[in-house]
Amino acid sequence: MIGIGRKINSFLDVKSIVTKLRDAGCVFAEDEAQLLISEANCKEDLIKKVEKRVAGLPLEYVVGWAHFCGLRIILEEGVFIPRQRTKFLVSKAVDLACSGDIVVDLCCGSGAIGAALASELREISLYCSDIDPIATEYARRNVSKLGGYVSEGDLYEALPPSIKGNVNILVANVPYVPTKAIELLPSEARLYEPNLALDGGEDGLHVLRRVVEEAPIWLASGGHLLIETSEMQAPQTFEIFTNAGLSTKVVRNMELDATVVIGTNPTL
């Protein structure tokens, strides 16, 4: 806190920063002010960061990282910001994983889920993929240092054929917002995050269906598919999983407002 205090005294009065942020609609203005000050390199840099945040740029883009599962996930504007509710997806995957497992993170974005799993599980073989080249660039920065591999491509097409039929844990935080609901999202997501990472098609389940349909041929015997979805979409998602031949259950965390559907490949 001493370093932060010195920056406050050297650059701008913290009260004025808090006031600017609060007037711009930042609910946690005090916390954000301290973070911006701690991340600033100089007075000019701090002023620019405050101006960007006041203009509506998400805080994670302003500072260049997001806090997720105890990790600092590096990202920039145009890369999907990991949501705190997705910690529930990570925890469910950790519960099912074993040492030595082959783990896949589809639609990986910044690689936040894969990085969290690699950090928690240690002894796994991790493969991440995304169709967005900007996302995969940052995923490599977040995942490679933890021993994971990142490839660019459309879902399973980006994965090495050698792991087909051998994946123990397959996680996917696919875009699941219905197209017409995009305009109802908070401005930070609607204006700054990539539409590709949000738009799940007419009913929000277009990408999810594609992931589930191919999952059984990529999963090992007894392997698990875990996908985050909305509470409203959970019944349809459950049906999609069961129609693909997976033994399926829905789990929910009320505190995080998180819903995850888990499907298990039949054991041979």
- Whether pLDDT at 1 is above 70: no
Question: How far is 78 from 222, CA to CA, in rounded Å?
Answer: 36
For the chain, the straight-line distance linking the first and the last C-alpha, in angstroms and rounded, comes to: 57
Per DSSP, what are the bridge partners of residue 227? 172, 261
- Whether pLDDT at 2 is above 60: no
- Whether pLDDT at 225 is above 60: yes
| Domain span(s) for CATH 3.40.50.150 in the chain | 84-264
Query: Quick one: CA torsion of 157, 195, 91, 123, rounded to 10 degrees?
Result: 40
Provide mean pLDDT across the span 129-145.
96
Provide mean pLDDT across the span 20-43.
89
Site of tokens 């594609």: 210
The two three-digit tokens of residue 106, written as one number? 């589809």
Question: How far is 109 from 136, CA to CA, in rounded Å?
Answer: 7
Provide mean pLDDT across the span 229-233.
95
Amino acid at 65: W
pLDDT digits (tens, 9 = 90+) for 3-15: 544 544 445 678 8
| Amino acid 12: pLDDT | 60
Phi, psi torsion values for 153, nearest 5 degrees: 165, 175
- Looking at domain 84-264, which of 3.40.50.720, 3.30.420.40, 3.20.20.60, 3.40.50.150 is its CATH number? 3.40.50.150
pLDDT digits (tens, 9 = 90+) for 89-135: 999 999 999 989 999 999 999 999 999 999 999 889 999 999 999 99
DSSP 8-state symbol, 131: S
Residue 153's CB is within 10 A of a number of other CB atoms, namely 12
Question: How far is 190 from 193, CA to CA, in rounded Å?
Answer: 6
Provide mean pLDDT across the span 194-203.
92
